[in-house]
Structure 1
Amino acid sequence: MKIQEKLLTKQELADVLNVSTRTINRRMDEGLPHLAIGSVPRFNYSEVIEWLKNKSTSSDQSA
């Protein structure tokens, strides 16, 4: 059985990525993967990193 990663709050994710929660909100509008637990978003760190890598790669290719 695989143990699930801890889900991060918006503030925890912002702290880890060294960005503001406002930046997290903007990224959520762009499709940043998250789960809504009630009305509170939670983030799987490895999914977020993969999304950011893919987003970076796709913007590099379009430039």
Structure 2
Amino acid sequence: MNKNIKTKPSYNQEILKILKNKYGYSYDYIRKSIRGDRSGEISEKIKYEYNKLVSESRKAIEIQVSKL
């Protein structure tokens, strides 16, 4: 008997805090916006900004790693 194991996506908690402070929405709404469960202008902005901040943080980490 095989069980299907679904994993939940892991979101950057620091970026979620930034978006929560900026927009004032709950973490649940922000996660649903990123996932695409919510539609609208604000949800699209949240999704865009989250993805932009994640890519910028990865670049910053890569730069710091290359300096070591």
Structure 2 length normalisation: TM-score? 0.35
TM-score (norm 1): 0.38
Report which of the two has the higher share of strand: 1
Indicate the structure with greater helix content: 2
Higher relative contact order (CA 8 A, sep 6+): 1
Which structure has the bigger radius of gyration? 2
